[in-house]
Structures are given as structure tokens and as C-alpha cells.
Amino acid sequence: MTTFTTADGITIAHDVQGDGPPVLLLHGFPQTRAMWHAIAPQLAQHFTVVTADLRGYGASTKPAQIEDMSFRHMAADQRLLMQHLGFDHFHLVGHDRGARTAHRMALDSPETILSLTLMDIVPTHLLLDALTQQVARAYYHWFFLAQPAPFPETLIGHDPNAYFESCLAGWGGGMDTFDADALAAYRSSWRDPECIRTMCNDYRAAIDVDFDLDAADLGRTVDCPALILYGADGIMGQAYDVAATWADRLTNMQAVGLPGGHFFPDTHPEETTKAIAEFLKSQT
């Protein structure tokens, strides 16, 4: 593990491997950069692969305020990290919260992004603005975690493994489909009370900060080549025509459904790697 600290004092834990065009991989909730354990080494045969913990997650800084956990701040951290590593332009891949961070980075710093891969999300503003009963029931955590502190933190803190493993199993399949070492890394992170707090603030910021930022950008598009991947058996794949939700936001897009639920990068890494690699190679 290597760390980089921004001028604002945010330390981002990350790993770098491989050689070739740069690719930044961003994880989601409730995970860490360990989610790329099976994917990054394969991509590193052709690319310089950077895997990083988002602020508030893993070994990165846990900032104090709700607004500190906005996708805009998360995106700025990662752009500065890549510049620090010598990459002014790079391919960007994100899953879940990492994908939302990636979309925000592509809006805020389009000149830096060579291609954009978003995995198993629909646009944040769309999900919140046109919320359906089906999605509200399945993605209840968006609203539980966003409750005022310390209510969700207290309940989760009673048994973090039970809560967060219910998320993994509920959206992605049985716990036996997750790699043991990756699970150990996730558990080590989410047992930290500070990490629980910042993950809750992530979801608070999505409603209190990110929704308005996205509303202001509804007329804008991302024009770099983009790939949308989604779990064919997952909640997003069942509740939405995922590709259609991005059609007015990404002007150069392709979409592919992959086996599994929300956590297909963990549970189906070979298929995920193949889809990402084929897309990236077509852009280089």
C-alpha cells in the first residue's frame, strides 16, 4: 500500500501495478480497493492499474463533515492522486459509489478522462427523483444510512459484520461467493467506527449535496467513450432498463449485462475482467 495526501489533508491509500495506459479502478459500498483483487492483476498485463480507497473508506482519511463525503470531493481526491502519479489523462472504472464518483469526475474534469466505465448504477438524480416502491424497498439503505447521526451508526455498531454482510448477501448472492481475503479486508474496514460514520455521511451527502449538484448538471453530457456494465440478475437490472437511464447522459455508450447481482466484480471476476479489458483495448 502507498499513500498520497492532498493539499487539503486527505490521505488516499492506493496500489499501483502493471505498465501501459493508466486505468483507475474505484470500489463501492461497503468495500475497499480489495474488491479488485482478481481483476487488477489481469488488467495490469496491459495497463498501469491504480486501485484506490475512496475517502471515508478502507485506509483513506475519514473526514468530519457530511459535505466532505460528496462525490465531487471524492472525485477531486482521485483526480489529484492520478496527477500525482504522473497521469493527466486516464481511463476510469467505477463500481457502485465508485461509479457515482467516476460520473461526477467525468462531469467536473472531462478533459482528464479517456474512457468511462460505470458498473451497476443508474444516475443518482434519477434514482432519488423518480424513486419506485421496488427500488425503495431493495435499496432501503440509502435512507437508513442517511438518517441523522448517531442513529444508524449506533445500530450498525452493535454488529457491523451482521449489517454489512446482509448488504453483500442481499444484493450479490451468498457469502460463500466472496473471496475470503477480500472479505477480511472489508470486515477490517467496516469494523472501524469512523468508517461506519463516514459511510453514513456518504449517503447523507448523496441526498443533501449530490442531488442538487446533479440537478444543476441534468442538461450536460459526458462525451468520452463509455461502457455501462450491470448485473443481469441484480436489482438495477431488474428495476430499470439500465442502458436507457444513461442514454441522455452519455453520448458514446455501450452497455452489457453480466452474470450475477450487484457485486458481480466480486462474484464473477473473469467475466467482469473480460468486459473491461475488451472495452479498454478498443480505446487504446
Distance CA 256, CA 61 (A): 34
What average pLDDT does the segment 9-19 reach? 98
For residue 239, pLDDT beyond 80 = yes
The CATH number linked to 107 is: 3.40.50.1820
What pLDDT score was predicted for residue 83? 98
| Whole-number percent of the chain with pLDDT over 90 | 98
* Confidence grade of residue 20 (pLDDT, cut at 50, 70, 90): very high
Distance CA 266, CA 20 (A): 24
**DSSP state, residue 259:** S
C-alpha cell at 12: 488516499
> Helix or strand or coil: residue 179?
coil
* Confidence grade of residue 174 (pLDDT, cut at 50, 70, 90): confident
What pLDDT score was predicted for residue 172? 76
| Whole-number percent of the chain with pLDDT over 70 | 100
For residue 173, pLDDT beyond 80 = no
What pLDDT score was predicted for residue 212? 98
Q: Locate all alpha helices (DSSP H) within 34-123, ordered by sequence.
A: 40-43, 71-84, 97-108
Active-site residues, by number, are 96, 262
Domain that holds residue 62: 2-282
pTM strictly above 0.95: yes
Angle at alpha carbon of residue 273, lines to 92 and 166, rounded to 5°: 90
What pLDDT score was predicted for residue 167? 96
C-alpha cell at 6: 492532498
Distance CA 57, CA 109 (A): 23
What average pLDDT does the segment 92-102 reach? 98
Q: What is the pLDDT of residues 181-229, one digit of tens each?
A: 999 999 999 999 999 999 999 999 999 999 999 999 999 999 999 999 9
What pLDDT score was predicted for residue 282? 97
Instruction: Give the chain's domain count.
Output: 1
What pLDDT score was predicted for residue 277? 98
